[in-house]
Amino acid sequence: MNKPEVLIIDDEPQIRKLLEINLSSHGYQTRLACTGKEGLMLAANHIPEVILLDLGLPDMSGHEVLLQLREWYRKAIVVLSVEKGEEDIIAALDNGANDYLSKPFRVGELMARLRSAIRNNDSGETRQVITAGELEIDLAGRVVKVDDQVLKLTTTEYNLLALLARNAGRVLTHQFLLKEVWGVGYQTETQYLRVFVAQLRKKIEADPNHPRHLITVSGVGYRFE
């Protein structure tokens, strides 16, 4: 069985070594790049299953690397970032990153994020029916079921849920969700999201107070699992 390949683009030698050792011990193949240009070249020559991308690179912005990758690369990109406010993280997610990890990170959390990214590489727009436990979302028929019972969702509730489900495993920012579901003029109306996510959780979650599907990413947005 082929080992999933992870491309690490990070200019810190100790971080690259730490990632290489831990990923190898968990059954991953790794390729290492210390600059943005080297990372872009390796990604094009050996298409990886997941890319771990540091935003602070010596030759070019990690955001620029992300934008160039997203011109053709459709698999998961997980951003690595030192904690310096939410702006960089939100910009990276809006530019196409699937997820992020703040440095320093825990190895267990990294492995969980990678497993989630790989599981969701083939989900989303290529699938007409998305199943998550007792929840079933028929994208073609616009039908949502829980335990085979059809739910009554408003148009806005359905559109929000479908958008999150098509991007399963990816963190979608508040601004992105508001723009896509309500329109450009609503990108600061975060209370809309809170209300509709709460309504959806009451309808699709077994325990709305401890959701399994609609996950809050504090200060950033939401993720569908």
Residue spans per domain, the chain: 5-119, 129-224
CB 44 within 8 A of CB 50: no
CATH fold label, 5-119: Rossmann fold (3.40.50)
Whether 137 has a pLDDT exceeding 50, the answer reads yes
Both structure tokens of 81 = 């970032």
CATH fold label, 129-224: Arc Repressor Mutant, subunit A (1.10.10)
The model's confidence at residue 124, banded by pLDDT at 50, 70 and 90, is very low
Identify the sign of the CA torsion 56, 60, 66, 72.
Answer: negative
Q: What is the pTM of this model?
A: 0.69
Whether 83 has a pLDDT exceeding 70, the answer reads no
Whether 46 has a pLDDT exceeding 90, the answer reads no
Cβ-based neighbours of 69, under 8 Å, separated by 6 or more: 40, 43, 51, 53, 77, 96
**Mean pLDDT across the chain, nearest whole number?**
88
Whether 86 has a pLDDT exceeding 80, the answer reads no
Which range, of 57-61, 104-108, 127-131, 196-200, averages the lowest pLDDT? 127-131
